[in-house]
Structure 1
Amino acid sequence: MHTDIHAFCRLGIVVSMAYPSCSNSEQDYHESLKKLLIDPTFQVMEIGSLPFSSLYESVPAMIKSAHCDCTYSGHSLLFAKKLNINSLDEEERVQAVQTLKKGIDEAYAMGAEEFQFLSRGYEKGKEASYLDALIASTNELCAYAKSKGSMPVVLEVFDHTIDKKSLLGPSSLVKKYAEAVCPAYDNFGIMIDCSHIPMIGESIDEAVEPIKQYIKHVHVGNTLISDPNHPSFGDYHPRFGYPGSENDTEYLAAFLQKMKDIGYLTEGGKNILSFEVKPQAGEDADLVVTNAKRTLQDAWRRVQ
């Protein structure tokens, strides 16, 4: 495409992934966020539970001053407490739901336009039971978010067997899940990430077609799954073209073409397309972010 991709979506970036050092101190967080906010490439900052309490006032103010938007990821809330939102243990499931409800409160307080979460672990052979538990939890979260305002809730699809080992997962399960939740809640949708698709073992078409009408948010990134002994193996989001990795310009172009074909990327559209990229050992974060922007430009030129 020769038209600027900004005419088809809003570009975003996951702040803590792009600049892992932002969790070191309040100053590091401010400096990292500012680098992204002064770059007009980005219209959306993807944040989550903040590492220092003082940031809850300054971060939303910075984002607002830059005329930028933000979303809120609740993933770390579950990771930190090792909670399973689709647990078959009802006490744990309820605790996970309550934890994410607090995250929804934070998201509203910070002015976020969307709340994100993910499914968690499962036992092979019991996927149906775990899916029922996830549906019950999601219904509660959607109802709670709706009671507070108009902020949508989205579930991000992760890998099923490699790293996060999340229930969702394969598109067949994602479809059953979305079909169960969406008729009851119009504030719900699915997030996909092109870095997770190779980990699930699906092609772009296999991952997208069954759930295309439910996709409300998209991440782009890369993964390395060719060598289980490599320190970047799994869900570590290396830069595009990282040695031994799966995704580079050609793959990203094919993914963007699919997003355009299904109407997610459409001229005049405001859907979010966000980078999830992370510097690997010894890499410079600024260069990794630039890699992402340059790769996106090159890939977008190939989209018809």
Structure 2
Amino acid sequence: MKTDLQHYMQVGIVHFMAYPQTIGGEGPIAETVNKIITDDFFSAIEITRINDSEQRKQVAQMLESGRITTGFGAQPILLGNKADLNSFDEEKRRFAIDLIKGAIDQAYELNAGKLGLLSGPKPDQNEEKAVALLIDSLKEICRYARAKGNLAISLETFDDATDKKCLVGPNRLAVEVAKEVRKTDANFGLMLDLSHLPMQRETSRDALYTASDYINHAHIGNCYIKNPTDPAYGDVHPRFGYPGSENDVDELVEYLKILLEIGYIGEGSDNVVAFEVKPVGIESSDIVVAQSKRTLRKAWSKL
């Protein structure tokens, strides 16, 4: 497609994945956020917790002055604490809910418009009960978020067997969950990630059409699932075209094509399509980010 891709979407990036030294809320957060904000290829960014309140204020000011759409990723908070929003143990489920409420507070401090999270692990049995508990947790989270403002909640779908082994999981199940949660919060939606589709055993066409009425966020990236001993194995988000991996230009072309077909992106759209890419081994974050931009430009030129 010859038209400027930025006319069809807001191109974003998951900051804490591109710069993984910041994922725990420490490290060169302001410095690396500044790199993204000052790169006008990007009009959106996703950040996660910032432990120091003064640095949070600094980053909030940077985001506001940079006029960049901001999302908050609570996924690392849940995963880092092994927290489970669908736990059968009520104390553990409450712990996970409280973690997300704290994340919502930070998201508002940073003037984020959306918060992403994920389900807990898929249980060995009684999956229906786990789904009901997840829905209950999400409804409470949505009520908390809406009581404070207009923050939208987005449930990201993950693999259920390869790495994260999440309850959600298949996009058909995600739609069932979203239908119920939208009875509480009409802004609730789903986040689909090109990186996860090979691990979910779903094509872009099947996944995106299945979830089309509920998608409120999209990620683009890659995964490697051939050899468990490879450092990029699983849900690690290596660069596009990593040797032996699943996604490169052609797969990105197909994903973008379906996003156009379902109307998630289109001329004048403000919907976000964000890179989720991470350096492997000694790779440079800045080089991986630049390679991602080149890959998107090449894919867009083939539409």
- TM-score (normalised: structure 2): 0.96
Pair 23,201 (structure 1): closer, same or farther in 2 beyond 3 Å:
closer
Q: Distance in 1 between matches of 2:91 and 2:175?
A: 27
Q: Distance in 1 between matches of 2:265 and 2:183?
A: 24
Q: Distance in 2 between matches of 1:41 and 1:236?
A: 24
Pair 58,26 (structure 1): closer, same or farther in 2 beyond 3 Å:
farther
- What is the SS of the residue equivalent to 1:239? coil
Pair 23,105 (structure 1): closer, same or farther in 2 beyond 3 Å:
closer
Q: Distance in 2 between matches of 1:30 and 1:107?
A: 16
Give yes or no for the alignment of 1:289 onto 2:289: yes
Where does 1:1-304 land on structure 2 (aligned, <5 Å)? 1-22=1-22, 28-303=28-303
- What is the SS of the residue equivalent to 2:198? helix
Q: What count of residue pairs does the alignment treat as equivalent?
A: 303
Q: State the Cα deviation string for residues 109-131 of structure 1 (Å, max 9, x = none).
A: 11111111100112233221111
Letter of the structure 1 residue corresponding to residue 54 of structure 2: S
Letter of the structure 2 residue corresponding to residue 285 of structure 1: S
Letter of the structure 1 residue corresponding to residue 172 of structure 2: S
Do 2:142 and 2:184's aligned partners in 1 also have CA atoms closer than 8 Å?
Answer: no
Letter of the structure 2 residue corresponding to residue 239 of structure 1: R
Letter of the structure 2 residue corresponding to residue 208 of structure 1: L
Deviation at 1:184, TM superposition (A): 3.2
Q: Distance in 2 between matches of 1:211 and 1:25?
A: 32
Do 1:146 and 1:187's aligned partners in 2 also have CA atoms closer than 8 Å?
Answer: no
Q: Distance in 2 between matches of 1:277 and 1:23?
A: 13
- What is the SS of the residue equivalent to 1:71? strand
Q: Distance in 1 between matches of 2:208 and 2:25?
A: 39
- What is the SS of the residue equivalent to 1:245? coil
Letter of the structure 1 residue corresponding to residue 195 of structure 2: S
The answer for unaligned runs of 5 or more in structure 1 is none
- What is the SS of the residue equivalent to 1:139? helix
Deviation at 1:209, TM superposition (A): 1.6
- What is the SS of the residue equivalent to 2:212? helix
Q: Distance in 1 between matches of 2:126 and 2:199?
A: 21
Pair 86,241 (structure 1): closer, same or farther in 2 beyond 3 Å:
same
Name which of structure 1's ranges 175-184 and 112-121 shifts more when overlaid on structure 2.
175-184
Deviation at 1:206, TM superposition (A): 2.1
Q: Distance in 1 between matches of 2:170 and 2:236?
A: 19
Aligned-residue identity in percent:
39
Q: Distance in 2 between matches of 1:120 and 1:284?
A: 31
Q: State the Cα deviation string for residues 118-163 of structure 1 (Å, max 9, x = none).
A: 0011223322111101000011011111111111111111111111
Q: Distance in 1 between matches of 2:36 and 2:74?
A: 21
- What is the SS of the residue equivalent to 2:219? strand
Deviation at 1:219, TM superposition (A): 0.4
Deviation at 1:26, TM superposition (A): 6.5
Deviation at 1:52, TM superposition (A): 3.5
Deviation at 1:24, TM superposition (A): 9.1
Q: State the Cα deviation string for residues 96-120 of structure 1 (Å, max 9, x = none).
A: 1122111111111111111111001
> RMSD of the TM alignment (CA)?
1.6
Deviation at 1:270, TM superposition (A): 0.3
Letter of the structure 2 residue corresponding to residue 177 of structure 1: V
- What is the SS of the residue equivalent to 1:130? helix
Name which of structure 1's ranges 235-244 and 84-93 shifts more when overlaid on structure 2.
84-93
Letter of the structure 2 residue corresponding to residue 17 of structure 1: M
- TM-score (normalised: structure 1): 0.96
Q: Distance in 2 between matches of 1:302 and 1:46?
A: 27
Q: State the Cα deviation string for residues 18-68 of structure 1 (Å, max 9, x = none).
A: 112346997722221111111001111100111434321111111122221
Do 1:16 and 1:47's aligned partners in 2 also have CA atoms closer than 8 Å?
Answer: yes
Q: Distance in 2 between matches of 1:154 and 1:180?
A: 14
Q: Distance in 1 between matches of 2:25 and 2:99?
A: 25
Do 1:142 and 1:187's aligned partners in 2 also have CA atoms closer than 8 Å?
Answer: no
The answer for unaligned runs of 5 or more in structure 2 is none
